[in-house]
Amino acid sequence: MEDPRCCGTGTCIINADGYCWCGQRWDGEKMCFPEPASRADEDGADTDASPAPDH
């Protein structure tokens, strides 16, 4: 049985969370690539920052 969420390639393998092996996700209407994760955590702090080196 073909999954109606398939993006049209006929090769979609969609897990229970709605993610396909290709990285797309079912948004409730269509398959699309999810928005990139924010670099800030919930407190608004930059999680990518590292301390300045001691010189």
Structural domain boundaries of the chain?
1-34
Task: Name every residue whose Cβ is closer than 8 Å to that of residue 32 and which is 6 or more positions away in sequence.
Answer: 24, 25
Token representation of residue 47: 């999680």
- pTM, rounded to two decimals: 0.50
* C-alpha separations of 41 from 20, 30, 34, 35, 37 in Å: 26, 28, 18, 15, 10
| Confidence category of residue 55, pLDDT binned at 50, 70, 90 | low
pLDDT at 36: 80
DSSP-derived pairing of the beta strands 31-32 and 25-26: antiparallel
Cα gap 38→51, rounded to integer Å:
20
